[in-house]
Amino acid sequence: MRSLVLPLVVAAIATGTARAEQARPDEPRSSTPFALAVNVLPVASDAFAVSAWIGRDAHHAIRANVARYRGPLWLRVLAPVFSDGEEDSDVAPDFGTTTDLGLGWVYYPRRLLDGASVEAGVLCRFDRRRNDIDEQDAAAEEHHTNVYSGRLLVGWTWRLSDWWFVATAAGGALGYERGHEKTYVGVDGHGDVSRSGPVSRVSVSFESYVRLGMAFGQ
């Protein structure tokens, strides 16, 4: 009986080692899936945006976004179409930019960064623009407001290769805007007339993005 103890111990150790070796492929990866992407809109060369994804599992990720642009992008896209060839079709302001900071939770039914996606998150928009500035450095329009919103986006991601992808999404944001603004009203006998005052109102906006990026650690 004692002669069987040593073989049984050896067999038990070998079996345990084999099971451990088989379990290793299923263990969590040491690297976290990560991706970086930038905007690909050629209609606004002065607009810049970058998004970063951090994967939580095979279907969920956190996306952080930073964007800076001059004036509403959708208006700048449509302005040349309806300008009838006018040279001043660009609706970018004379001075200043708008900055967006966003953070959202993204769900991918198929797999991370591939196929359909739904994103829910928050958006902070800082609008700092001055337009129609005269010789005395007085602007007919000024915007100095902050917007804090909740955002919902539905999108699609195309995997071009194991590394490269194109991600796009569209949706809306609902929040509140506070600050100060000056708006152009019209012209009277003394020149342009503007109206200025504090801003405190509900903000509703259309949101979209197109990003070209690279994925790592997948």
Q: Are 179 and 201 in contact (CB under 8 A)?
A: no
CA distance 166 to 12: 51
**185: Cβ contacts below 8 Å, ≥ 6 apart:** 193, 194, 195
CA distance 68 to 109: 30
Taking residue 101's Cβ as centre, other Cβ atoms within 10 Å add up to: 13
Q: What is the pLDDT of residues 140-175, one digit of tens each?
A: 788 899 999 999 999 999 999 999 999 999 999 999
Where the chain has pLDDT below 50, the residues are: 1-30, 78-89
| Per-residue model confidence (pLDDT) at position 129 | 86
Q: Are 174 and 203 in contact (CB under 8 A)?
A: yes
Paired tokens of 108 = 């991918």
| Per-residue model confidence (pLDDT) at position 9 | 36
End-to-end CA distance of the chain: give it in Å, rounded.
52
Q: Are 91 and 55 in contact (CB under 8 A)?
A: no
* Residue 64 vs residues 137, 187, 199, 213: alpha-carbon distances, Å: 37, 44, 28, 14
**φ and ψ at 32, to 5 degrees?**
-95, 130
* Residue 68 vs residues 1, 55, 128, 194: alpha-carbon distances, Å: 79, 25, 11, 27
**φ and ψ at 139, to 5 degrees?**
-100, 140
pTM: 0.73
CA distance 196 to 139: 11
